[in-house]
Amino acid sequence: MKLGVHPSADVANVAATDCLAGWLTAPTTRTVMVAAGNTPIELYRRIGERGLTLSHLNVFALDEYVGVPLEEPRNCANLMRRCVQQAWGIPPAQFHTVSSLEADALASVQEHERKIIKAGGLDVIILGLGQNGHLGFNEPGSAEDSSGRLLDLETISIEANRNWFGGDYAPAQGVTVGLKTILAARHVLVLAYGSHKTAAVKAMVEGTRGSQCPASLLQGHANVNLFLDEAAAASLNNRIHSEAMLTEANTGDEETA
């Protein structure tokens, strides 16, 4: 796991944009999975501003709130349609989402994963980090080999959902691709900013690898880039924290030279 600690979320997003732009434009990249939510929106905006040629990509949504209308602009499908598909110039037929309707959600995510397998798996995935260590809506206790499914959410996730929707909705269920699909991605980019993510970051980086913190399962992945601000990294072991800061400083020097 390559760990970068930055003075602020803005500085971290600069580095994350450089990393992601390189991955997206690599000749071997054909499939990308994107997470919704507050944290990655700025990253997507910055990628869109670069004017990269990305129309060859197939883009898959990571998850979806369940019990929210299909036309709700803040659900994952519509948010990613605006912030990624339209902003990056992805043809509509190459943008794949899952349904927010309870009656359709399970079948929708199962078909979603079949499309990913048919496409050869994920080349790149962009993830946020849940306060309880979840990835997508894979809550603590999710199996490493779990597949796409509909599941009940923990209270902390429900409250995060309520805040996201400004109290209009508070989805208690989510539909998500499974950890098996996430962990099989060839390149993984994770963003975590703010003091409310401090405990989750520590569990992800320094905790025991296991289902109690789904993000900790990325410890065994060969190509993970984790971008943090100082607040999110505050509880990390001093040595790990210092080495991450030094790595980023040296990288910056090399890029400037």
Question: How many of the other CB atoms lie within 10 Å of CB of 183?
Answer: 20
CB 214 within 8 Å of CB 134: yes
Q: Which of 107, 104, 97 minimizes the C-alpha distance to 59?
A: 97
Specify the pairing of strand 63-66 against strand 173-176: antiparallel
Q: Phi and psi of 63, rounded to 5°? A: -160, -175
Scanning 50-131, the segments in alpha helix (DSSP H) are: 76-80, 87-88, 102-118
Name which of 151, 127, 126 is nearest 139 in CA terms. 151
Q: Would you give the distance in Å from CA 37 to the centre of its chain?
A: 9
Q: Show which residues are catalytic.
A: 63, 132, 134, 139
Q: What angle do CA 138, 60, 210 make, to 5 degrees?
A: 25
